[in-house]
Structure 1
Amino acid sequence: MAQTKSKRHKSALKELRKSLKRRQRNLLLKNKIKQLKKQLTKLIQEKKPDEVKKTLALFYKAVDKAAKVHYIHKNKAARLKSAAARQVANFLSTTA
């Protein structure tokens, strides 16, 4: 770590480190959810039911983890999961 001014409080420096770690974690969660959502839509368009089911489970897992660490609100997590489930259900009913 670079030289710091002696007038900074230890607690302020620690909070800075914590916020950087949280930011990194939040970016990973955000990108994971976005990537899985896009992948799910793409698989539905390509009409691959087996892979859609697997991706839906991974999407649920990512959204639940994000809600667990308070990255997103639990109600938003429920909305995301519900929308994805509805999309998959419509797809599966048309292919069956």
Structure 2
Amino acid sequence: MPRKTLIGTVVSNKMEKTIVVSVTRTHVHPFYGKTIKTTKKYHADDPEGLAGMGDTVEIEECKPLSKMKRFKLIRVLKKDIYTGDIPETPEDVEGAFGGEK
């Protein structure tokens, strides 16, 4: 039986060797026929710490590694451009609004 692979977005990488991946699926309601979005979070093993917040990753089902971890990171499909805080100084903020008052 093939292993389940999912593609999702990393929403947390604060734990050591673990990431939380949010997977969004769409399906049609059986009676109303409306398209519904369903989101589920999975804990995945990331031993080398390759994935960061906002990255699109592929995870694969594996044996239970802990109480919550049932998936492992296969590869990072797309790195997120925004990876940290934007340092703002008072000079930058004043300059952005057209100078001094």
Using the size of structure 1 for normalisation, the TM-score is 0.23
Using the size of structure 2 for normalisation, the TM-score is 0.23
More helix by share: 1
